[in-house]
Structure 1
Amino acid sequence: MISDKRKPLWLLPNLLSLDAPLVAVAWLFVFAKTWRVASHPWSAYAVLFLAVWVIYVADRLLDAALRKNDPKRCEERHHFHWRHRGKFLIGLTVATITCLGLTVTTLPIALFAYIFMGMILVMAFFAMSLFSSEGGNEISYLKNIFGGLAFGYGTAMLAHVYQPAMGGPLELLKTREFLCFSALCVLNISAIDLWEHSNRSPDPEVKAADELALTLPLTLLGGASLVFALLDHQFSTRPFFYATLTGAALLQILNRTKSRFSLMALRVLADVALMIPLIIFVAFPSN
């Protein structure tokens, strides 16, 4: 463990659980621009930031509590949250109340139809967290799938709800944009678990299997994103799919060069890989 006074600045967003909320807000902007949301209130971004922060902090505190008798299974982020759990619990309370207040007073009533599905995904994620805590050091792919779907759905719904013509929650689940972004989120979460699993194992066959388990789906996601971009002859969604393609490519590069970085650095770089596509999205012209 690194003492709090010696924490490098680049690691603080991860330790404070700010990395995921920043990624969510960036991609909410991408969804809103892609779906031509004319009027998007600041409160939508604030609610998303706070909701994601609350979920991530709660998950890390839960993991730390379940693993405190087995320190070897705790990462630095778990130790940090557990050492400062009093402050984080106060932050959780304030953030939750603020998030609920903004949702009720500033967001459209139609959002509540979306929230029901989001709550199901989040509860499934936490349920898998409890089950995976008993599974030793094996990777919980089902937890990662629910985590990625919940993250993708929560981000997309706060743009989709402002376009009533696109339909409700069920229509959102069918959109190519939601499917590609959620797949990118699942692979982002799984990448970190696979890198940690590979690092723990001395078996070269296990390391090769872990790398292939990430390489193949990233390649498929990149191919699907490229196909969806080329199928859009009106260029309205091409920047979005080029952004997801960029995210998949950056994760692929990290997967192939992971031996050059520490695990903590890989965690930060995995989130950077989801932030850089925002630059691609803004730079690429659309109609």
Structure 2
Amino acid sequence: MATTAIVARSTESHARRAPLEIWHLLSLDAPTVAAVWTAFFAASFHVVLPWTVPLALALAVWIFYAADRLSDAQHEASSLEDRHHFHAQHARGFFVAIGFAVPTVLILLAELPHTVRIAWLLLVLPLMAYAAAVHLLKLQVPKEWMVGLFFALAIAAPCLLNQDHAAEWLCAATFGILCWLNCVHIARAESAATDRATAWAVDHFRAITLAFAIANAVIAVCLPQARSVALALMAAALLLRALDRLEPHTSAVRMRAFADAALLTPLLLWPLLRYLQ
């Protein structure tokens, strides 16, 4: 049985893990990024959100990522990574946690602002279509771009629905590009690019991240209302570029954890938020 083989292979490799690696293996990295950026977007653009908004998004993202990795882990293949082995080894625990998380998300959704709830529910339809294309139809979908698009729309939606300023849309678009760059970095480490644009970006990663950082520095200077978000994006891109140099000396699971942690730059800028606006 494929799952049994995965468990046998992974028992020893998971014996000792750093906290950051466990954070990644538990599929908590993407939900953390989602919650932090949702709250940071709102704070940067003076949108008042209840605490249930980032919490609901974090739980929904965790459910999707955990379910996606559990599904992948059912099929033994050379492309499976540590995160899939970990989910197979602890599948029962993940299923129990998902069983609690789903009704919790539904309860939180009922309490969200109406416009945010509708926007997120509308995103569920294309998201389910994407999951079906990947797991049921086995289609080759450019997932790096899809991750960037869905993350940008879900995280920026509460701000985009409350205001109609070009700065918010620009920041949402650049955040989507940052998420794509994060996926490019992971694809580079795992040799798993799914489209030509991502494959090209893998080969020119340092130049692209530098150009992206410079572009956000320009945005920070020219658009004061977008300064805090642009600086956080710039810092994250530079961290991803720096991590690229560590790749030959770091394990794949630790490098992926570092890459996701690099997106948490809003936590560094939050104490300075009042001075950046």
TM (norm. structure 2) is 0.83
Question: Relative to structure 1, is the Cα distance of residues 275 and 132 closer, same or farther in structure 2, using a 3 angstrom cutoff?
Answer: farther
Please, which moves more after superposition, 273-282 or 175-184?
Answer: 273-282
Partner of 1:258: 247
Partner of 2:149: 149
Please report how far the alpha carbon of residue 272 of structure 1 lies from its aligned counterpart in structure 2 after TM superposition: 1.6
Question: Relative to structure 1, is the Cα distance of residues 176 and 222 closer, same or farther in structure 2, using a 3 angstrom cutoff?
Answer: same
Mapped partners of 1:78, 1:146: distance in 2:
20
Please, which moves more after superposition, 89-98 or 177-186?
Answer: 89-98
Give 3-state SS (helix, strand or coil) of 2:276's partner: coil
RMSD of Structure 2 on Structure 1 (CA): 2.6
Question: Relative to structure 1, is the Cα distance of residues 209 and 179 closer, same or farther in structure 2, using a 3 angstrom cutoff?
Answer: closer
Which residue, out of 189, 193, 196, partners 1:195?
189
Give 3-state SS (helix, strand or coil) of 2:123's partner: helix
User: Counterpart amino acid of 1:150?
Assistant: F
Please report how far the alpha carbon of residue 286 of structure 1 lies from its aligned counterpart in structure 2 after TM superposition: 2.4
Q: Is 1:268 the equivalent of 2:263?
A: no
User: Counterpart amino acid of 2:213?
Assistant: G
Partner of 2:68: 59
Please report how far the alpha carbon of residue 107 of structure 1 lies from its aligned counterpart in structure 2 after TM superposition: 0.8
Mapped partners of 2:139, 2:125: distance in 1:
22
Alignment of 1:19-98 (within 5 A): 19-37=29-47, 39-65=48-74, 67-68=75-76, 70=77, 72-98=78-104
Question: Relative to structure 1, is the Cα distance of residues 60 and 108 closer, same or farther in structure 2, using a 3 angstrom cutoff?
Answer: same
Question: Relative to structure 1, is the Cα distance of residues 44 and 112 closer, same or farther in structure 2, using a 3 angstrom cutoff?
Answer: closer
Please report how far the alpha carbon of residue 57 of structure 1 lies from its aligned counterpart in structure 2 after TM superposition: 0.4
8 Å contact 2:40–2:266 — kept in the other structure? no
Mapped partners of 1:57, 1:78: distance in 2:
9
Please report how far the alpha carbon of residue 154 of structure 1 lies from its aligned counterpart in structure 2 after TM superposition: 1.4
Give 3-state SS (helix, strand or coil) of 1:40's partner: coil
Partner of 2:21: 11
Please, which moves more after superposition, 112-121 or 258-267?
Answer: 112-121
8 Å contact 2:216–2:234 — kept in the other structure? yes
> Unaligned stretches of 5+ in structure 2?
1-9, 193-198
Q: Which has the higher contact order (CA 8 A, sep 6+)?
A: 2
Which residue, out of 156, 164, 167, partners 1:166?
164
User: Counterpart amino acid of 2:57?
Assistant: L
Identity of aligned residues (%): 29
> Unaligned stretches of 5+ in structure 1?
199-207
Q: Is 1:279 the equivalent of 2:234?
A: no
Cα-to-partner distance string for 1:187-241 (whole Å, 9 max, x where unaligned): 112211111219xxxxxxxxx9775242343233223212221221xx2221110
Mapped partners of 1:151, 1:59: distance in 2:
16
Mapped partners of 1:30, 1:130: distance in 2:
33
Mapped partners of 2:137, 2:249: distance in 1:
29
Mapped partners of 1:215, 1:118: distance in 2:
32
Mapped partners of 1:214, 1:122: distance in 2:
27
User: Counterpart amino acid of 1:155?
Assistant: I
Q: May I ask how many residue pairs the two structures share in their alignment?
A: 260
Please report how far the alpha carbon of residue 54 of structure 1 lies from its aligned counterpart in structure 2 after TM superposition: 0.5
Mapped partners of 2:139, 2:258: distance in 1:
29
Cα-to-partner distance string for 1:38-64 (whole Å, 9 max, x where unaligned): x32111121011011111101111211
Cα-to-partner distance string for 1:97-119 (whole Å, 9 max, x where unaligned): 11011111x11111243124422
Partner of 1:178: 172
Q: Is 1:102 the equivalent of 2:108?
A: yes
Mapped partners of 1:63, 1:219: distance in 2:
33
User: Counterpart amino acid of 2:244?
Assistant: N
